[in-house]
Amino acid sequence: MRGKDGGTVLIFGFYNYFTFPSLDTGRRLQVVAFPMRRTVFDTPVVRQVLYFLAMFYLWVFRWKKEGRVPDVPKFVMIAAPHTSNWDLPLTLILSLAFRMKVFWMGKHTIFRPPFGGFFRWLGGIPVDRRQANDLVTQCIQTFQRSDRLIMIIPPEGTRSKVRYWKTGFYYIAHGAGVPICLGYIDYRLKAGGLGPTVTTTGDIEADMAQIRSFYAGVTGKNPHQWEEQAIGVTRK
């Protein structure tokens, strides 16, 4: 998961502290703040220190980072399988190791004092699920306004047992005309990184089948909560 200088990454997570939310076409959320502001990732000295710390962590715990960032300025990345609270810290560590600029969305309540400023400095963006606003459309519009943009979205949106994926990530990519990069964290192999990219065709069943074939055999932290054979169109 390596980003080039000037790139932007959005991680949709932290709705339930360390639980990633999903994006479904029917879900409506209000983004309390959607700024491309300066964060820890824009601080050269701190960013460099965190890069070395991330690389040291991967070396000490024998994790491997794999793959290369697609040679395109904008794309959606799905992060799977998401079965544990550890997925977010590992995603952030890998982001630092690949020198990515990271933004992530979180439940607005965790941004209250005294930790709100710290979470924002880490790239957090508060989201209020009580308000009505089409997040999928907002994401598409953000892609259209941006020269360089990467969005990371865990399609399951929960650490509980998953039988069907939410499809918001697919409609964001298709609506914005950008490819989907298949990101992963494999706890059995202790490896995380980037797989191939999928260009959406509008045939969601066929495209999901291609995605499913990649994730076959990828092992999450809690593999009993993950069924790669069930990856497909969301059950309403």
Could you read off the pLDDT of 215-231 as tens digits, one per residue? 888 887 876 655 544 44
Per-residue tens of pLDDT for the chain, all 236 residues: 444 444 556 555 444 333 344 455 444 444 444 545 677 777 889 889 999 999 999 999 999 999 988 888 898 888 877 777 788 788 888 888 888 776 776 667 878 888 888 888 877 767 665 554 577 787 788 788 888 787 877 665 444 444 456 788 898 899 999 999 998 999 999 999 989 999 999 999 999 889 888 988 888 787 665 554 444 444 33
Q: What would the pLDDT profile of 167-191 be if each residue is shown by its tens digit?
A: 888 988 999 999 999 989 999 999 9
Pairwise CA distance, residues 101 & 222, whole Å: 28
At residue 224, the pLDDT reads 64
Specify the pLDDT at position 44: 86
Q: What pLDDT shows up at residue 229?
A: 41
Q: Cβ of 234: how many Cβ atoms within 10 Å?
A: 17
Tokens of 46: 């701190």
What pLDDT is recorded for position 15? 40
Q: Structure pTM?
A: 0.74
Q: Which residue has the tokens 């890069």?
A: 51
One-letter amino acid for residue 65 of the chain: K
Contact 65, 194 (CB under 8 A): no
Predicted local distance difference test score (pLDDT) of residue 20: 41
Task: Please give the C-alpha separations between residue 183 and each of 18, 81, 120, 122, 135, in angstroms, as whole numbers.
Answer: 18, 9, 24, 21, 22
What percent of the residues of the chain are helix, what percent strand, and what percent coil, each to the nearest 5?
Answer: 35, 20, 45
